[in-house]
Amino acid sequence: MKGIVSMVMMGLAALVLMVTPAAGAKSIKVGAILAVTGPMSFLGGPEARTLQMLVAETNAKGGINGRPVELILKDSMGNPEKAVSFAKQLIEEDKVVAIIGPSSSGETMQIKKIAEDGRTPLLSCAAAEVIVDPVASFVFKTPQKDSDAVKMIFEEMNAQGLANVAILVDNTGFGKAGQEQLVKIAPEFNIKIVENEVYDKAANDLSAVVAKVKANKDVQAVVNWSVVPAQSIVAKNIRQMGWDVPIFQSHGFGNIRFVEAAGAAAEGIIFPASRLLIAADLPYGHPQKELLLKYKKDYEEKYKENVSAFGGYAYDAFIIFEAAVKKAGSTDREKVRDAIEQLKNLPSATGIFSFSERDHNGLTKDAFQMLTVKDRKFVAYPPL
């Protein structure tokens, strides 16, 4: 029956959202591997809810090319082994046209080759640049480039006259990738890395790491690069020690929950992020403003929680998938892959995407907006 949506739990770690097609219409299957539950649910939860909302909206409008969309959603719980198993199942058994996700860089790197070998488009919601560099034929990602985030941060440091920097990163794939980019790009901006520390993603007290970094009197600023709740602990520990050092975060800070967790310590943190977080402040006529406001309104009214940059990455993936299927006029995986590469100037939540054979991210540095935290809210930095 058309329009009926049911959620079915498959085993302990697989969620499947089935949209029953209309009589005579064959559904378009799209898979998703997201950390809906578990320690990384702050990533996968908003992504899954965004996809569910978009699929329902799309089917209410008649689907894609007159065919309803069937979303097969697997909950990896952030576990790379589960992601591998689910990727094989989606490709070989479910015969999906494409896969959205995973939520994390580590999971994505584990299934990258599976998508390639299965010749199935993968639209990752994870940020590490190594996902698309070097380019793999069937693998794409929606978050902005790590290197562009680093450049935005270092440009602001240059503007503030900050040269000696301490780096703190978590021990995830995202943290490792960010650390590599920070170290690699620093010389281009005359930035000197004077401290370089890695911490456990599950840490609930980072005072020892912070104390070590603080002891170095050359440190003029701290960059924390992570996508886990511990990034809030870093900020709290820094301020609890009475250290009034400028704090910069990566684009992994783009969830207001991290601000809430850090409390007063979040005030003044500077980071690059999607314009989704300040949609209402964008000037009228901005190519993203209307769609960002609609997504924000629809999501927040439906789920009673603030929209986040992470949900935006899934929004992008679905918009890209939808546009590619329409452009291809087919659900053939190879044709959909080719169509993604041909998409140009496609506005979405994270930026305006233009793909090519050499660029499977499709975004430039312009997809970022520097933000800060003021009165526990995200605002443009400097003000628009």
pLDDT digits (tens, 9 = 90+) for 245-272: 999 999 999 999 999 999 999 999 999 9
Report the percentage of the chain scoring pLDDT > 70.
Answer: 94
pLDDT in tens, 100-130: 999 999 999 999 999 999 999 999 999 999 9
For residue 228, the model assigns a pLDDT of: 84
- The pLDDT, as a whole number, for residue 229 is 86
Q: What is the per-residue pLDDT for 3?
A: 38
Give the 3-state secondary structure of the chain: CCCCEEEEEECCCEEEEEECCCCCCCCEEEEEEECCCCCCHHHHHHHHHHHHHHHHHHHHCCCECCECEEEEEEECCCCHHHHHHHHHHHHHCCCCCEEECCCCHHHHHHHHHHHHHCCCCEEECCCCHHHCCCCCCCEEECCCCHHHHHHHHHHHHHHHCCCEEEEEEECCHHHHHHHHHHHHHHHHHCCEEEEEEEECCCCCCCHHHHHHHHCCCCCCEEEEECCCCHHHHHHHHHHHCCCCCCEEECHHHCCHHHHHHHHHHHCCCEEEECHHHHHHHCCCCCCCHHHHHHHHHHHHHHHCCCCCHHHHHHHHHHHHHHHHHHHHCCCCHHHHHHHHHHCCCEECCCCEECCCCCCCCCCCHHHCEEEEEECCEEEECCCC
Whether pLDDT at 41 is above 50: yes
Taking only the tens place, the pLDDT of each residue in 297-331 is 999 999 999 999 999 999 999 999 999 999 999 99
Whether the per-residue pLDDT at 21 is higher than 70: the answer is no
Average pLDDT, the chain: 93
**What's the confidence (pLDDT) of residue 4?**
33
Determine the pLDDT at residue 24.
55
What band does 384 get if pLDDT is binned at 50, 70 and 90?
confident
> What is the model's pLDDT at position 20?
45
Which domains does the chain possess?
A: 5-143+289-367 (3.40.50.2300), 146-273 (3.40.50.2300)
Please write the tens of the pLDDT for every residue from 183-202.
999 999 999 999 999 999 99
Per-residue pLDDT band for 227 (boundaries 50, 70, 90) equals confident
Q: If pLDDT is split at 50, 70 and 90, which confidence band does 19 have? A: very low
Residue 32 predicted with pLDDT over 90? yes
Work out the percent of the chain whose per-residue pLDDT is above 90: 90
Per-residue confidence band for 217, with pLDDT thresholds at 50, 70 and 90: very high
Whether residue 11 is predicted with pLDDT greater than 50 in this model: the reply is no
pLDDT band at 16 (very low <50, low <70, confident <90, very high): very low
Distance from the Cα of residue 65 to its chain's centroid: 28
Backbone angles phi, psi at 7, to 5 degrees: -105, 125
pLDDT at 18 over 70: no
